[in-house]
Structure 1
């Protein structure tokens, strides 16, 4: 009997979501502190439970639909299936890291029209201990990619393929690009929560979030489409290293 999904990979992805979801907590509350009387003994378990539920849903439906539209995670699928994929990792590693770094540079350039706001947000992140920032980048490069690329983008591509298929029976390029763009907008809006704890949410703040994060999401979406989930993960991790470690803790202190 054919398996619905790769169950080993399913449980691996859930574990990654939960572990990195715990790792990002110190960073989150460093940027957006809760009141001293906040019931942390209830809030943190609830946050972990939410991460678990989202991880289960995103991993299951993401893996289920990815197979149907021709997407996947070739390296992780190989590892959990007992195959060696070292050669494929080597083939995507350099390009994925480069795209991630270029994404970080692009974000810096896009910050220029929003300079005062960007400086305000940068100062808030500079105040976060570097070890908390280091823990946080693992969440972005893994859990966010599982939620937004493996699940959301795959879902949108699957829906698009139901509306119109390519000649080979797979999704059309237009359908994939629409999914990438829509995912990018949602990805950008999803970052407003933490931003709202630092500054007031205005139209400029929303535009900045969608423009900056959406641009990165397009890069990750394209890599997921063309090279697999791991490529998007590597690129996302590389971008976050630039944006959350290198710039606020190494470069910005020299000028701000």
Structure 2
């Protein structure tokens, strides 16, 4: 039994410091997006700024460790788990997909900035050291553990067990992974709606469209890379998209 959970435990343990860093800098980045009154209220409600940072780190560690452990097991059971190493051809394909996706995401300011009130102003806080670190550690790693390694693997496992007659993972059809990817990407996009409401104060058709276009579309890309090459390529792409887009905003806005 211990042998079966050795690798999942090792993976979950590896995620702990990454999740902690991601959690801390996500709180810092989020707090910087609020006005002074809201910041002070949150700090007071949390018994101090350091307590707020600790809470963010702890929450990220708990969720990432649990989802990392069970996600690893589900990924292995469905045949999605790959050796944690980068190879030349997959890395090149991932880098190209990352660059294209990052550029498209970087166009957000120009595509929607004039049609969504308040969007242009958010870019005043989009490119900061805290946002860079948060996007790499939390976006690139934590979100991929939660949404792809765990959730997409869970969907694939359930679809396989329910709809595929042969219960050997070698017989899992491609349609299972495609549907699992779509479901995970849709939930990934939907999960950004609360933050979207917080940012813009409302949801309009164009705001919802933007949310699902970017978050859902990118989720499909990351899920496709996870399916084809492994979760580490999805992490590389997710972090890379944030880096490319932020460089564009830093240089041209």
Decide: shared fold, TM above 0.5.
yes
**Equivalent residue, structure 1, for 2:94:** 96
Q: What is the CA distance between 1:111 and its match in structure 2?
A: 7.1
Mean CA deviation greater in 140-149 or 88-97: 88-97
Contact 1:185 1:214 in 2 (8 A): yes
Q: What is the CA distance between 1:174 and its match in structure 2?
A: 1.3
Q: CA RMSD in A?
A: 2.4
Structure 1 unaligned regions, length at least 5:
76-84
Mean CA deviation greater in 229-238 or 7-16: 7-16
How many pairs were matched up?
240
CA gap 1:73/1:210 in 2 versus in 1, 3 angstroms: same
TM value normalised by structure 1: 0.83
**Equivalent residue, structure 2, for 1:231:** 233
**Equivalent residue, structure 2, for 1:35:** 39
Contact 2:106 2:249 in 1 (8 A): no
| Structure 2 Cα separation of the partners of residues 94 and 118 of structure 1 | 35
Output aligned runs, 1:46-65, within 5 Å. Answer: 46-65=55-74
CA gap 1:37/1:113 in 2 versus in 1, 3 angstroms: closer
**Equivalent residue, structure 1, for 2:131:** 133
Contact 2:113 2:119 in 1 (8 A): no
Q: What is the CA distance between 1:223 and its match in structure 2?
A: 0.3
Residues 73-106 of structure 1: CA deviation (Å, up to 9, x unaligned): 521xxxxxxxxx4xx4434322212111211233
TM value normalised by structure 2: 0.84
CA gap 1:126/1:242 in 2 versus in 1, 3 angstroms: farther
Residues 101-120 of structure 1: CA deviation (Å, up to 9, x unaligned): 21123335677764424573
Contact 1:164 1:172 in 2 (8 A): no
Residues 175-217 of structure 1: CA deviation (Å, up to 9, x unaligned): 1111111111111122223322221231322222112110000
**Equivalent residue, structure 1, for 2:200:** 199
Structure 2 unaligned regions, length at least 5:
none
**Equivalent residue, structure 1, for 2:210:** 208
Contact 1:126 1:248 in 2 (8 A): no
Contact 1:111 1:118 in 2 (8 A): no
Residues 193-250 of structure 1: CA deviation (Å, up to 9, x unaligned): 332222123132222211211000000000000000111111111110122x213211
CA gap 1:144/1:63 in 2 versus in 1, 3 angstroms: same
| Structure 1 Cα separation of the partners of residues 31 and 39 of structure 2 | 10
Q: What is the CA distance between 1:71 and its match in structure 2?
A: 1.1
| Structure 2 Cα separation of the partners of residues 143 and 14 of structure 1 | 10
CA gap 1:228/1:90 in 2 versus in 1, 3 angstroms: same
| Structure 2 Cα separation of the partners of residues 25 and 89 of structure 1 | 34
Contact 2:160 2:167 in 1 (8 A): no
| Structure 2 Cα separation of the partners of residues 232 and 101 of structure 1 | 13
**Equivalent residue, structure 2, for 1:220:** 222
